[in-house]
Amino acid sequence: IERLSILAGTEDEGFAEADRFRKGMASLEKQYQGAEPVSVFYQVWDEPLMTVNDEHLIGKVITLCGGVNVFGDLDRLVPRISAEAVIGANPEAILAGGMGEENRHWLTRWEAFQSIDATTKENLYFVPPSLIQRPTPRILKGSQLFCEKLDDARAKR
């Protein structure tokens, strides 16, 4: 943001926005540093079924919010997985984006699997992809929403 604002000649606005972003992320980090862990599966794509590891930006958001990514240790940044792997990992919460800002249909697949804690506890959450899957300043809002979803899962224990 700062570099682009220098190129655009809008340093005051750009540096202020960068500062707001840093402070917002630091506030979330402080708020959730001692949060009870929640095991999380984040679905980044449906066909083929894909997730993220801990090195991915979304993986870092999961950690920031006190989540534990059930596929965080996989080698690939965006690994392909199977539904059976998700069932075996038994996450406490499943979060997904989708094909659009209001389309949560990717979560309906998981409703059929009553053996998954996320399903039985009704911890199936939609996060608009533009807030979490695109590396823009809006990821602060997406991170806040992500953390709220994990707080909801914690409250259902």
| Same domain membership, residue 97 and residue 147 | yes
| Same domain membership, residue 75 and residue 13 | no
56 HSE (CA, 13 A, CB side): 23
List C-alpha distances in Å: 143 to 63, 98, 108: 10, 16, 23
Domain count, the chain: 2
pTM for this structure?
0.93
| Same domain membership, residue 59 and residue 5 | no
| Same domain membership, residue 60 and residue 113 | yes
| Same domain membership, residue 99 and residue 22 | no
Dump pLDDT digits (tens) for 109-150. Answer: 999 999 999 999 999 999 999 999 988 999 999 999 999 999
Q: Could you tell me the CATH number of the domain that includes residue 113? A: 3.40.50.1980
Dump pLDDT digits (tens) for 4-26. Answer: 999 999 999 999 999 999 999 99
Name the residue range of residue 39's domain: 35-155
Partners of 40 in the beta sheet?
69, 93
| Same domain membership, residue 54 and residue 29 | no
| Same domain membership, residue 117 and residue 63 | yes
Residue 51 near residue 62, CB atoms below 8 Å: no
